[in-house]
Chain A
Amino acid sequence: MKTKENKRGKIITAAIIISVFLFAAIAEKVAPPSWNMLFMVLKKGSIYVLIAVSMNLLNGFTGLFSLGQAGFMLLGAYTYGIFTIPVEDRASVYQYFDGGVIQFTIPVPLALLLSGLVAALFAFLIGLPVLRLKSDYLAIATLGFAEIIRAIFQWQALGPVTNGSNLLRKFPVFESTIAYFAVVGLCVAIILLLINSSYGRAFKAIREDEIAAEAMGINLAKHKMLAFCISSFFAGIGGALLAMYQTSVQAAIFKSAMTYEILLIVVIGGIGSISGSIIASFLYIACSEWWLRFLDQETILQPTERGKFIIVMAVVFVTLLVLMLIRIKKPKGKPRALYGTGAAVCAVVLVWLVYFALTGQTKVPLLRNGFRMVVFSVIIMIIVLFFSHGIMGTKELPDLFKPKEKEDGGKEAAL
């Protein structure tokens, strides 16, 4: 299925990537401290990019439904921490374990590599029994393994190595956003190369039809294991980067909720689209950690703001209501319950808005701690229900910039 090279798309994509890098590099030097949130989002977002892409490699490209990502991140984060904490700081970090048993450090790049390797090694050991399982059974087994790993790392008896329930900290971290970008960029590039290699095609074949793939001579066990280990390798590196970003690491954060978060990112971006995962990671982190934060604060509106607020709310919800009502009438649309509920919610909000406008309140209701996460989860539900293919579907960024006639050609070839 070799179609014409999409040169324009590739050039534009490369330009976007380079400009983002340049922007981050320059902005970081000159930006005032109030831009800190942006760099926080860029750092954490880029780490989530790596983890989401590694999960996408497994779930999206190979069709193996694994929920063990948090466990592999934990392995990576702990490996990095354990081997890089400076010897002189160990006494204070391992304060309950007499400085721990490991009394040497290795250089940062090596530690990053090692954290990936340790995660991959565990993936190999875990994969031996569980990769034979199918779909949901594999998911629940890997989820179980992640929980077991977490329990082991918190075990007091292993304290001299893992510091038990306590935090690992004082390890060297990357200060600049660009360093995170570089490591993540390199890893994602490797994953892209892999996906476009013969291995990648084999993975996709397994996703489409295992039996057919096997008939074509693809060694199922070998390729599944390979995908599983590679995905875990990069999840391990992602975990190490996450530890760096947090400057401390504790096993308690690597819960199944974290895996679900990453799965959501993958789905929002589009299962099987690397650029989708990348965009979704940044969007997800920005929304959950930054843009929506104002929803957590109780807010009193000034008269001018109040007018704007009412107008914006009215426009948004009237549009939504109309969209929902149009869809309800369509017999071939999605089931009516969904659109009915949506329309009802919009109508309630609008009725309330009229009441709000008439009574002259200035305090925005509902805004208090926790509302951010409610709104955020509603947004996620909307994306999942109305855009079930995610932002990018299975497309990649270059596909979007294809010249029109060429795209038609591609379509024909696909047909």
Chain B
Amino acid sequence: MSVVLPYLLSGISVGGQYALIAIGYTMVYGILRLINFAHGDVFMVAGVMMVYMCASMPWYIAMPLMIVFTVLIGFAIERVAYMPLRSAPRMSIMISAIGVSYLLQNLVAYITGGLSQQYPTIPFISDSINIGPANTKVVTVITPFLVIALVFALVMLINHTKIGMAMRAVAKDYDTAQLMGIRINSVISTTFVIGSFLAAIGSVLYFSNYTGVTYTSGAMPGLKAFVAAVFGGIGSIPGAVIGAFIIGISENIVKGFEAMLAVFGINSNIGIATFSDAVTFALLIIILVVKPTGLFGEKATDKV
């Protein structure tokens, strides 16, 4: 157990961060059937904003401000880049998402000069602690709990509030929901606001752990979070979270696979760790082929 524990811990921590991004993907996909490729970059922009804001103000002011700005950016992206294409073919809107992602990355590359920015140290969560045989940061430990708390709150919101009901209705049947008098646009905006809010929180957790922020920092976590969302069954929030944890853990197990074998006396040096990302995608393809709607996806006929 002591051999596997450090990898599990890393996996859970990474998984928690993926989960916060994955929720944004899964909610948007559930409602708009859109892979919001720009979501990972919103996450990255949140990190960069924090870097710049912490240079001129204390972190406890910078953080709420950063979250507000990130939410505004998410809202603006939806209004400017997605709303005009609501009646256009699905591919157009996805291209628009890719375009926004491209724009955000290039903009940040331009502003930062393409250089990696050191994420500010936030007291307490950046400290180092010991858990049994493993050393890690406090943020690693609190991430999963924070994720679970947030997800709980989110599920309450969706199941027990009016706007939550509206969201479920829109996700179920877009056109009928509109006929029933639900204001589609405000529901969609709310979705983007929630998604961006979680991405902002996620960026604090992620970059406190991995302190270099560059303009490409959002791409891989974004892609993996999306994979997690599909894995868990897109549209399902608990599914996305569980998918994210599975992917985070499996990725770290693969990274440490040979080292674990070595501890048991089996020496191999073929470089299994090379496939830490590939395994994520392989898992995805397997689950899609076996159960196309993902682990917890509803059997929906409209997902064509």
Contacts and interface: CB of A to CB of B under 8 A. Distances in A.
Interface of A: 59, 65, 129-130, 132-137, 139-141, 143-145, 147-148, 151-152, 154-157, 256-257, 260, 263-264, 267, 271, 334-335, 337-338, 341, 368-371, 373-374, 376-378, 380-381, 384-385, 388
Given A341-B76, A374-B106, 20 more contacts: A133-B289, A136-B29, A136-B33, A137-B292, A140-B227, A143-B223, A145-B281, A145-B285, A148-B278, A148-B282, A155-B271, A260-B37, A260-B102, A263-B95, A264-B99, A267-B95, A381-B81, A384-B95, A385-B84, A388-B92
Interface residues of B, number: 51
The SS class assigned to the A binding surface is helix
B304 A133 contact: no
B270 interface: yes
A340 to B, nearest CB: 9
B99 A377 contact: yes
B260 interface: no
Which one of B88, B114, B270, B281 has the highest number of Cβ atoms from chain A below 10 Å of its Cβ?
B281
Contacts of A154: 274
B304 A135 contact: yes
Given A137-B230, A384-B92, A147 B107 contact: no
A371 B274 contact: no
A147 B81 contact: no
A51 B91 CA distance: 18
A144 B280 CA distance: 8
A263 B98 contact: yes
Contact of B79 (A137, A335, A374, A376): A335
Contacts of B226: 140
B225 to A, nearest CB: 12
A374 B103 contact: yes
A267 B106 contact: no
A371 B109 CA distance: 9
Nearest to A376: B106
A337 B79 contact: yes
B110 A373 contact: yes
**Listed residue (A136, A369, A378) with the most chain B CB atoms within 10 angstroms of its CB:** A136
Contact of B275 (A151, A271, A370): A151
Given A376-B106, A381-B96, A388 B284 contact: no
Nearest to A165: B274
